[in-house]
Each structure stands twice: as structure tokens, then as C-alpha cells.
């Protein structure tokens, strides 16, 4: 799964990387501890123009009467995304890219204390998650929201957790965004061997109030 991430790349660098027009109200970066329900920078493609825009991380189905009117949907399972009522329309028509420096995952050896890890690309490039998005209006609010698509974990990630975000390679960005015809469903796979690296970090990140670059420092043996 993906329940916490870090975003470090400046907005102008993100806009250049994706060839996207940049919105004026993007969330502050860097953010070393991005938690659900906060705003994240997301790439969409609309009428052949890519946009870098803010969205609330936590997908809200249209039938929710309030933003907290049901389960917090930060992830969407690739195996069922096309059938789930909450996600199936977005999967067909509202796919997005969610860039990050990487994400945190926790293991619990022998059912004991939760130990945090950081997962990033082995080549140091930004990590780009497959995402879906949804406009929602209700309870006097209007929000644009998103979720990270996840799949079964393999390799490095599987040693920590059984789920992984779908991590897209640059050559697949256009296909996921719907710019290059059909075939997006074939992209919902675990990352290939060697794409990511993982390392232990300190337990400070167990708190969603923690912040600062020290959260990403490798834990010394």
C-alpha cells in the first residue's frame, strides 16, 4: 500500500519534467511526511494539455454526503479498480500521475513494534505513481481528490509489505494519462526487479506530525 510519502522536487522542475502547465495553488515543497487528506501535486491530461495541479490525497466518491462520510480511500487496488463502484468511472476517464521522492512502509517483525522503511527509485529519479482522481461537492465544500493505485508487491518491497504502489516508467506516462490510446490496464504491475531500493529510517516518522529532512536519513546499523 502507500500511506505516507515524501515530495521534494520544486514545482517548476516538476512542471518541466512532465511538460505540464503549473497551477498557482500547489502545496508547499519539500514535504518529508505527506499524510492522507493533505494536498499533493498531481499531473492530469485534459484536451491534450498536461496540468500540474493540487488534489486532496483521499478519494471521495460522489455519493459521500461529507468528506468524511465513509472510509478514507487513499489507495485503489489494481485487481478490482475497474469493478469497484467508487473507482470504475475514474479508472476509465480520470487517471493521473502522482510524483514523489518515495514512500514510507512499515514492517512488524514477529508481530512486534512497527519499523519504518523508505522506498525510492534506485536510479534517484522521481517516483511516479499511477493515480485516479475525482471531483466531489457536498457539505458546502468542493474538492478535487485522488488515490494511488496499488498492486501486489514483489522483490524489495515484498520483504516489507505485501502491497506496492504502481510505479510508472517515463515511457508509460502518456499511456496511463490516456494520451496514447488503450492499454493502461497492462501498466498496473509491480515494479521490475532493481527499480527500487529500500532502507530503514528512524521511528520518528511513525508520527504524522513529524517533519524535516532527518526523516529520510538512513538508520545506522
For residue 70, what is the domain's CATH number?
3.90.1680.10
Give pLDDT, residue 46. 87
Clarify whether 156 is annotated catalytic: no
Q: Does 221 map to a domain?
A: no
- Which is more confident, 102 or 221? 102
Task: Please measure the distance between the N-terminal and C-terminal CA atoms of the chain and give it in whole angstroms.
Answer: 26
SS3 annotation, 76-141: EECCCCCCCCCCHHHHHHCEEEEEECEEEEEECHHHCCCEEEEEEECCCCCEEEEEEEEEEEECCE
pLDDT tens profile 77-123: 999 999 999 999 999 999 999 999 999 999 988 777 889 999 999 99
- Domain of residue 45 covers 5-105+125-193
Q: Does 206 map to a domain?
A: no
Q: Identify whether the C-beta of residue 131 lies closer than 8 Å to the C-beta of residue 95.
A: yes
| 30 prior amide bond cis, ω within 30 | yes
Phi, psi of 179 (to 5 degrees): -85, -15
Which percentage of the chain shows pLDDT scores above 70?
100
Give pLDDT, residue 221. 61
Q: Does 207 map to a domain?
A: no
Q: Could you give the maximum distance between any two Cα atoms of the chain, in Å?
A: 51
Rounded Cα distance between 208 and 136, Å, is: 25
Q: How many domains does the chain have?
A: 1
pLDDT tens profile 173-192: 999 999 998 889 999 999 99
Q: Does 202 map to a domain?
A: no
- β 49-57/141-152 pair status: parallel
Clarify whether 96 is annotated catalytic: no
Rounded Cα distance between 58 and 38, Å, is: 8
Rounded Cα distance between 164 and 172, Å, is: 18
Q: Identify whether the C-beta of residue 196 lies closer than 8 Å to the C-beta of residue 119.
A: yes
Handedness of CA 172, 178, 180, 181 (dihedral sign): positive
Handedness of CA 192, 169, 133, 91 (dihedral sign): negative
Q: Does 117 map to a domain?
A: no
Q: Does 203 map to a domain?
A: no
Record the pTM. 0.96
Rounded Cα distance between 88 and 58, Å, is: 16
Q: Which of 91, 96, 105, 146 is catalytic?
A: 105
Q: Does 29 map to a domain?
A: yes
Q: Which of 2, 91, 96, 146 is catalytic?
A: 2
pLDDT tens profile 4-50: 999 999 999 999 999 999 999 999 999 999 999 999 999 999 888 99
Q: Does 111 map to a domain?
A: no
Amino acid at each position: 500500500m502507500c500511506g505516507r510519502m515524501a515530495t521534494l522536487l520544486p514545482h517548476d522542475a516538476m512542471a518541466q519534467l512532465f511538460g505540464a502547465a503549473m497551477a498557482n495553488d500547489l502545496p508547499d515543497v519539500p514535504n518529508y511526511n505527506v499524510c492522507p487528506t493533505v494536498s499533493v501535486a498531481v499531473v492530469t491530461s485534459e484536451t491534450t494539455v498536461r496540468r500540474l495541479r493540487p488534489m486532496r490525497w483521499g478519494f471521495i466518491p460522489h455519493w459521500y454526503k461529507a468528506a468524511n462520510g465513509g472510509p478514507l480511500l487513499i489507495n485503489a487496488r489494481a485487481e478490482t479498480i475497474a469493478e469497484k463502484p467508487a473507482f470504475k468511472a475514474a479508472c476509465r476517464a480520470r487517471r493521473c500521475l502522482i510524483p514523489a521522492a518515495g514512500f514510507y512502509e512499515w514492517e512488524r517483525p514477529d508481530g512486534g513494534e512497527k519499523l519504518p522503511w523508505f522506498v525510492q527509485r534506485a536510479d534517484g529519479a522521481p517516483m511516479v505513481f499511477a493515480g485516479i482522481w475525482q471531483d466531489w461537492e457536498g457539505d458546502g465544500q468542493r474538492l478535487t481528490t485522488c488515490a494511488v493505485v496499488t498492486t501486489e508487491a514483489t522483490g524489495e518491497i515484498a520483504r516489507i509489505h505485501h502491497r506496492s504502489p504502481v510505479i510508472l516508467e517515463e515511457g508509460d506516462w502518456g499511456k496511463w494519462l490516456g494520451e496514447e490510446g488503450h492499454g493502461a490496464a497492462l501498466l498496473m504491475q509491480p515494479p521490475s526487479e532493481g527499480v527500487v531500493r529500500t532502507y530503514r529510517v528512524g521511528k520518528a516518522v511513525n508520527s504524522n506530525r513529524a517533519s524535516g529532512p532527518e526523516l529520510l536519513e538512513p538508520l545506522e546499523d
